[in-house]
């Protein structure tokens, strides 16, 4: 079994929803976890704070470059801690639930001809004994919709990338020195026990631009491995509002979600807000037991990338 798989298995066995026990001490399985809010002395020796910035609203965030301890190379993997301000988190949660899962975007239910229109409205207005349609929703695709059967991106964009995602993607990528034109976005809907197996994001036509990934709602244990599953992955606790940028050498690293950890207390989603309505209450309840992830990617090379490639080839 690969070491990556062994770490995934370890998290499958963890039944608690926090890395700390009742006494406030780390559970044994979590001793290596990087909690960006509480780095250990040892972690501070290899996790570099590269900058502080404001990506959106008034959220001042710290940027850490997280490199694998074995290689110690700075390989383009960054976490922007709390980069999304509370308003943006609430706005994105609402959009994931009532806009991004609707046509013209597609979802995992679409290829099965089971796409459910107004899924969030149906879920929240159903009778108590009726099944929750949200249980069937795993992902939504925006922009260029990757075709998993043909294993290819289509020539035409299936839907637009919302301006907010374009802007956030660009701001986060620029904050760590990368550029991105978001052409495809994926929204992942995680339930309390959902995981995402280790994989590489390797279906785009270019890998010269980073994947920018936004976390909203419940906490998660994110695993970031190397270029093979034989490298020990680092384990990172991601919270609502955190942004991960995987560019440069880390663009093709194995990664995934080993555990989703529902938490009752998410600062951006208090139980009551001034003037809050039923929609907010439903969203607040949802994010406390589920996690949303939105990630944006550039699929095709930028014209200037192609130009510089051509020049490189000519001169070599
Ligand atoms: O949920 C996450 O943070 C990671 C999602 C991911 O890796 C993907 O959609 O490819
Ligand atoms: Fe991924």
Reply yes or no on whether the pLDDT at 257 is more than 90. yes
The edge-to-edge listing of strands for the beta sheet with 47-54 is 47-54, 60-66, 77-81, 243-246, 211-217, 291-297, 184-190, 139-143, 106-107
The CA distance from 221 to 34, in Å, is: 9
Q: What are the distances in angstroms from CA 226 to CA 43, 234, 254, 267, 282?
A: 18, 9, 6, 32, 39
pLDDT at 70: 66
- Predicted confidence band at 118 (pLDDT cuts at 50, 70, 90)? very high
- From the alpha carbon of 201, which atom of ligand 1 is closest? 10
Angle between helices 278-289 and 86-98 (to 10 degrees): 90
Task: Categorize the per-residue pLDDT at 164 as very low, low, confident or very high, splitting at 50, 70 and 90.
Answer: very high
CB contact at 8 A, 291 and 213? no
Residues with CB under 6 A from ligand 1: 186, 188, 196, 201, 213, 222, 255, 257, 293, 295
**CA 256 / ligand 1 centre spacing (Å):** 6
Q: Taking the alpha carbons of 129, 188, 255, 47 in that order, is the dihedral positive or negative?
A: negative
What are the boundaries of each domain within the chain?
3-315
pLDDT at 304: 76
Instruction: Please write the tens of the pLDDT for every residue from 130-163.
Output: 999 999 999 999 999 998 888 889 989 999 999 9
CA distance 197 to 223: 9
Task: Please name the residues in contact with 237: beta carbons below 8 A apart, sequence gap of 6 or more.
Answer: 19, 33, 34, 35, 36, 219, 220, 221, 222
Residue written as tokens 């069937």?
136
pLDDT value of residue 99: 98
Judge whether residue 225 has pLDDT over 70. yes
> pLDDT value at position 310?
67
- For ligand 1, pick from 256, 261, 296 the residue to mutate: most ligand atoms within 8 Å of CB: 256
pLDDT tens-place string over residues 171-197: 999 999 999 999 999 999 999 989 999
Q: Check pLDDT > 90 for residue 71.
A: no
Give pLDDT tens digits for 3-54: 999 999 999 999 999 999 999 999 999 999 999 999 999 999 889 999 899 9
What is the structure's pLDDT at 284? Answer: 97
The token pair that represents 120 in the structure block:
């969030």
How do residues 283-309 score in pLDDT, each as one tens digit? 999 999 999 999 999 999 997 777 766
Token reading at 132: 């929750």
How does 44-58 read in b/e, with b if 16+ C-beta sit within 10 Å? eeebeeeeebebbee
How high does pLDDT run on average in the chain?
Answer: 93
Q: Which ipTM value was assigned to this complex? A: 0.99
Q: Which of 11, 107, 216, 295 to mutate to test the pocket of ligand 1 (most atoms within 8 A of CB)?
A: 295
Tell how far the Cα of 256 is from the centroid of ligand 2, in angstroms: 6
Looking at residue 205, what is its pLDDT?
Answer: 94
CB atoms within 10 A of CB 275: 5
Rounded Cα distance between 196 and 135, Å, is: 16
Spatial CB neighbours of 129, under 8 Å, sequence gap ≥ 6:
none
**According to the CATH classification, is domain 3-315 in 2.60.120.590?**
yes
The confidence score (pLDDT) of residue 165 equals 98
């Amino acid at each position: 079994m690969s070491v990556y798989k062994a770490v995934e298995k370890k998290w499958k066995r963890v039944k608690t929803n926090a890395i700390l026990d009742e006494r406030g001490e780390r559970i044994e399985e979590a001793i290596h976890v990087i909690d960006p809010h509480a780095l250990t002395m040892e972690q501070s020796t290899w996790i570099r704070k590269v900058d502080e910035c404001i990506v959106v609203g008034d959220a001042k965030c710290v940027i850490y470059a997280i490199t694998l301890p074995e290689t110690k190379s700075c390989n383009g993997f960054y976490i922007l801690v709390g980069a999304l301000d509370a308003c943006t988190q609430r706005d994105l949660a609402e959009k994931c639930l009532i806009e991004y899962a609707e046509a013209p975007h597609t979802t995992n239910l679409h290829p099965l001809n089971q796409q459910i229109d107004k899924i969030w409205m149906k879920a929240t207005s159903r009778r108590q004994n009726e099944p929750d349609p949200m249980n069937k929703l795993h992902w939504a695709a925006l922009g260029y919709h990757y075709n998993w059967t043909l294993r290819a991106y289509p020539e035409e964009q299936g839907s637009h990338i919302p301006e907010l995602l374009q802007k956030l993607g660009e701001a986060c990528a620029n904050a760590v020195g990368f550029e991105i034109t978001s052409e495809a976005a994926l929204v992942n809907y995680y339930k309390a026990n959902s995981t995402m197996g280790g994989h590489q994001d390797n279906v785009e036509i270019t890998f010269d631009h980073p994947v920018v990934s936004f976390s909203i709602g419940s906490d998660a244990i994110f695993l970031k491995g190397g270029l093979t599953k034989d490298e020990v992955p680092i384990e990172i606790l991601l919270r609502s509002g955190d942004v991960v940028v995987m560019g440069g050498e880390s663009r093709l690293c194995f990664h995934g979600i080993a555990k989703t950890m529902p938490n009752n207390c998410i600062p951006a989603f208090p139980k009551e807000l001034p003037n809050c309505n039923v929609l907010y209450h439903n969203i607040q309840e949802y994010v406390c037991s589920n996690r949303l992830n939105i990630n944006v990617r550039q699929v095709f090379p930028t014209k200037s990338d192609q130009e510089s490639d051509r020049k490189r080839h000519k001169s070599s």
